[in-house]
């Protein structure tokens, strides 16, 4: 019975140290930094992409050449219809 108790105690001790070794000796929630010091684990923030806003383009500007303004035989010059 003494050997069984000693084996369970040794196994429990090894199992408890293995969790700390997995974190680099700092314990759960901590990790080793670049210079060997213990630093807390940061929470990873998953950001959603910004909502997409679809804007319909405005109707294109349509330039329509006006019909003939001056009667035949005249042209538009200097702000009014003038003969050739």
Cα 28 from Cα 18, distance rounded (Å): 11
pLDDT at 68: 66
Q: Quick check: is 3 in a domain?
A: yes
Residue whose pair of structure tokens reads 């998953």 in the numeric block: 46
* Domain of 14, in residue numbers: 1-40
| pLDDT, tens only, 3-46 | 766 777 677 766 655 544 555 788 888 888 888 889 888 876 67
**Per the domain annotation, does 46 fall within a domain?**
no
pTM: 0.28
Q: Provide the domain count of the chain.
A: 1
Which residue, among 33, 12, 16, 11, has the nearest Cα to 24 in the 3D structure? Answer: 33
């Amino acid at each position: 019975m003494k050997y069984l108790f000693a084996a369970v105690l040794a196994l429990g001790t090894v199992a408890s140290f293995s969790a700390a070794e997995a974190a680099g000796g700092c314990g759960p929630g901590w990790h080793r930094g670049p210079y060997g010091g213990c630093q807390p684990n940061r929470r990873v923030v998953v950001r959603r992409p910004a909502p997409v806003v679809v804007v319909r383009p405005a109707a294109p500007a349509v330039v329509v050449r006006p019909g003939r303004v001056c009667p035949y035989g005249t042209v538009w010059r200097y702000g009014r219809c003038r003969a050739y």
